[in-house]
Amino acid sequence: MKKTTTLFVLLLTVVTAFCQQTMVQQLIPQPASVTEKKGWLTLTVSAKVAYNDASIAGMASQLQERLAANAVKTNIILSKSQPATAKVFLAIVTDNTIKKDGYSLDITATGVVIKANEASGIFYGLQTLYQLFDKSFMQARPKVQDWQLPLVSIKDHPRFQWRGLMLDVSRHFFTKEEVKRFIDDMVKYKFNTLHWHLTDDQGWRIEIKSYPKLTSIGAWNVKKTGRFGTFSDPTADEPRNYGGFYTQEDIKEIVQYAAQRFVTIVPEIDVPGHSLAAVAAYPELSCTPGNYKVNSGEKFMIWPGGGQHFYGTLDNTLCPANEKVYTFLDKVFGEVAALFPSEYIHMGGDETARNFWEKSEQIKQLMQEKGLKNLDEVQSYFVKRVEQIIESKGKKMIGWDEILQGGLPPNAAVMSWQGMKGGIEAAKQGHKVVMTPTDFVYLDYMQGDPIIEAPVYASLRLKKTYQFDPVPDGVDANLILGGQGNLWTEQIYNLRQVQYMIWPRAFAVAEILWSPKGKKDFNGFVKRVEKHFERLDAAETKYSPAIYDPEFKVAKKDSASVVVTLIPEIEGLSFHYSFDNSLPDKYYPAYKEPLLVPKDAQSFRVISYRNGERVGRMIIMPVEELKKRAGVK
């Protein structure tokens, strides 16, 4: 009996230590320094929360309410030093060992202490603390219960200043409450910048009082369902009632909401291209007079490939040779600057179709008057004037890397999206850079095989995103502000799909931008991602399970035969398959080597298992698709 009791105690100790270790090691992003200890702290529903500075009173209140699930609202104490009765103490201090936006978090047997030099550090410390609670803490209304926290000491600070996500609300409009939910989700992982893409060909989303038609006309198009870019042209009788915009009061509310969570919103007004919504409202801003409509997703841009420049079948650009454009932009950026306290305003500058500029007599006259040699210099002339306007409003300008073409304005920052090249070039010229290359952080790209994902331009797996590093070799790291993940919403119609596309790849972006570079380890990261899947489930947040799906690699064996290889993204997966049109499970053949597709097979079906448990989605791959990819006719 004594041996049995001893064995039980030993087993309990091992299980407790394992659970404690699991909770500490599931943090995303990884802290700079973690020291784990043995034991647990119990926080009861009546635990008192103390704080020492009015700037963090709201955080103390939020923590206490979540601990008690609103059951106890009076146990919050303002105190210059830690009261003996308080189980949690949040303290603004002066500590040179804590870096900007950093914090220290200590959980001992007697309580929790979070210290920082500024309120933002306390906020980030709390995000870490929240991740140490059980996953049920993530529910909208956590169950009233005592909470167990592992004993640990953490010292932490971010690697980069700019830790961003971009949300495109032009292609599809998202309500004020949905934007707030997006902000709530991003701050859990210590993102601090929301790049807000507010205008494009499909909608102008911000009220500009000087130009009311921007929203009365420019904010609305025809509702279409299907694949963006392939829609039929809207007919005259189809109602233009799909879309929306944010009033200036909405903007102020969202900006304040974000600021309370230490998120800076960087607004983007995308010019001179991507401006069809503005031109539809005010056609006189175009080089090409005509009757314009806000785009509803029908194709009007042509991408020939083969090194040829893209062009538009209609002119969606503001005219650089038209002085009315600069008057317009002066008023627009003036109102935008008054609404957003951010240091930067984003002016877009990307993907300008210039084929109509080539034919414009106004442009030809401008080139002659200003000595501009080509259309790159025409765009550079426009961008430099925009920078002057933005700076006149007390702001700094940032734009996509196309603003390098023809010469970069003197004080502009560059957001490098076409790979890292533009960012490298800008940094070598001494300009600030935000890295956001398509091949690593375009979160609108498919996460798995196109056969199962909503089709868009390209695929981007989690493993590739985790390989991103914003500082290329040979570049002054002090000029790299940081990076961000971009979510364009052409093929994203609702917030649930936004969540699906963001998570888990935004976990990778968050960790890259916050954690020390030397801590990167994909296999360890995946284990933490899977723990956060459980937390997302508890929070009723959608995410992609694509890490469990295989990558299909096909090769042509002969004129009629295809060989297919299944490549796992993570370790430990077992792929089971069929060619006979039945749905495979774990009792079907397990994939072990490249497969020759049977001559008369119609479909290749694959399901993923791990340790005997199903983890992946049933993927049904038509054999015709495999042949197409392999070049077999």
Q: What is the pLDDT of residues 426-481, one digit of tens each?
A: 999 999 999 999 999 999 999 999 999 988 989 999 999 999 999 999 999 999 99
Distance CA 314, CA 292 (A): 9
Confidence class for position 560, pLDDT limits 50, 70, 90: confident
Given 156, 173, 195, the domain boundary residue is 156
- 200 strand-pairing partners: 203
| pLDDT tens track for 288-297 | 989 999 999 9
For residue 574, being part of any structural domain is answered with yes
Task: Classify 67 in phi/psi space as left (phi over 0), alpha (psi -120 to 50) or beta.
Answer: alpha
Q: Cβ contacts of residue 399 below 8 Å, gap of 6+?
A: 346, 347, 348, 349, 350, 383, 412, 413, 414, 415
User: Lowest-confidence range among 131-140, 183-192, 527-536?
Assistant: 131-140
Radius of gyration of the chain (CA): 27
Q: Where do the H-state alpha helices sit in 482-521?
A: 495-502, 505-514
Amino acid at 139: Q
Residues 84 and 222 in one domain: no
The answer to whether the CB of 86 falls within 8 A of the CB of 79 is yes
* 319-376: pLDDT as tens digits: 999 999 999 999 999 999 999 999 999 999 999 999 999 999 999 999 999 999 999 9
In a domain, residue 587? The reply is: yes
167: Cα within 13 Å, side-chain hemisphere: 27
**Averaged pLDDT for residues 398-418:** 96
Check pLDDT > 70 for residue 421: yes
Q: How far apart are CA 360 and CA 347, in angstroms?
A: 23
Q: 422, exposed or middle or buried, with CB in 10 Å at 0-12, 13-18, 19+?
A: buried
Helix (H/G/I), strand (E/B), else coil: 365: helix
- Pairwise CA distance, residues 487 & 171, whole Å: 11
Let me know whether 461 and 340 are in one domain.
yes
Strand-pairing partners, residue 170, are none
In terms of domains, do 255 and 335 share one? yes
- The CATH code of the domain that includes 145 is 3.30.379.10
Mean pLDDT of 596-614: 97
pLDDT of amino acid 102: 98
- What single string gives the DSSP state of each residue in 402-455? GGGTT---TT-EEEE-SSSHHHHHHHHTT--EEE--HHHHBTTSBSS-TTTSPP
The pLDDT value given to residue 98: 97
What CATH number does residue 571 fall under? 2.60.40
* 196 shares a domain with 133: no
**Last residue within a domain, chosen from 493, 511, 538:** 538
Output the DSSP codes for 247-259: -HHHHHHHHHHHH
- My answer on whether 151 and 39 are in the same domain is yes
pLDDT in tens, 152-178: 999 999 999 999 999 999 999 999 999
Total domains in the fold of the chain? 3
Beta strands in 217-315, from DSSP E residues, in sequence order: 220-221, 242-243, 264-271, 301-302, 311-312
pLDDT beyond 80 at 267: yes
The whole-number pLDDT of residue 502 equals 98
pLDDT of 229 higher than 50: yes
Per-residue model confidence (pLDDT) at position 410: 92
Overall average pLDDT of the 222-249 stretch: 96
Whether 167 and 36 map to the same domain: the answer is: no
User: What value does the mean pLDDT take over residues 582-590?
Assistant: 98
- Per-residue b/e over 137-146, b at no fewer than 16 CB within 10 Å? bbeeebeeee
Q: Give the integer Cα–Cα distance in Å for 167 and 174.
A: 9
Q: Which of 485, 506, 538 is the last residue of a domain?
A: 538
Question: Which whole number is the average pLDDT over 110-116?
Answer: 97
Q: Are residues 559 and 511 in the same domain?
A: no
- Banded model confidence at residue 7, pLDDT cuts 50, 70, 90: very low
240 and 284 in a single domain? The answer is yes
Q: Which two tokens stand for residue 248?
A: 């200036």
When the pLDDT of each residue in the chain is averaged and rounded to a whole number, the result is 94
| Number of neighbours of residue 134 by Cβ within 10 angstroms | 17
Residue 8 counted as domain residue:
no
Among 2-6, 158-162, 250-254, the minimum mean pLDDT is found in: 2-6
**Residue 2 confidence (pLDDT) above 90:** no
CA–CA dist 386, 376 (Å, integer)? 15
What pLDDT does 73 receive? Answer: 55
pLDDT of residue 138: 84
Percentage above 90 pLDDT, the chain = 87
- Beta 162-168 vs 48-51: how paired, if at all? unpaired
pLDDT digits (tens, 9 = 90+) for 495-505: 999 999 999 99
Residues in a beta bridge with 148: 42
Instruction: Tell me the pLDDT tens digit for each residue of 62-95.
Output: 898 888 754 445 578 999 999 988 999 999 999 9
Identity at 236, one-letter amino acid code: A
Q: What whole-number distance in Å separates Cα of residue 599 and Cα of residue 626?
A: 12
Which two tokens mark 528?
């933490």
**Residue 527 near residue 572 (C-beta atoms within 8 A):** no
Whether residue 304 is found in the same domain as residue 371 = yes
**Pick the residue with more confidence: 375 or 145?**
375
Residue closest to 187 by CA, chosen among 151, 163, 169: 163
Per-residue pLDDT at 310: 87
> Confidence band (pLDDT; 50, 70, 90) for 9?
very low
Q: Is the pLDDT of residue 4 over 90?
A: no
Q: Do 62 and 180 reside in the same domain of the chain?
A: no
Tell me the average pLDDT across 418-422.
97
Q: Are residues 214 and 152 in the same domain?
A: no
pLDDT mean over 139-145:
75
DSSP annotation of 175 reads -
Tell me, what CATH number does 265's domain have? 3.20.20.80
Of the pLDDT bands very low, low, confident and very high (cuts 50, 70, 90), residue 8 is very low
Assess whether 247 and 115 both reside in one domain: no
Domain range for 416: 162-538
Evaluate whether residue 106 is within a structural domain: yes
User: Confidence band (pLDDT; 50, 70, 90) for 10?
Assistant: very low
2 inside domain: no
Catalytic positions: 200, 274, 351
CB 168 within 8 A of CB 195: no
For residues 75 and 562, give the distance between their C-alpha atoms in angstroms, rounded to a whole number: 68
Which tokens go with 603? 């479909």
Mean pLDDT of 17-44: 84
pLDDT above 90 (res 139): no
Residue 13 falls inside a structural domain: no
In a domain, 7, yes or no: no
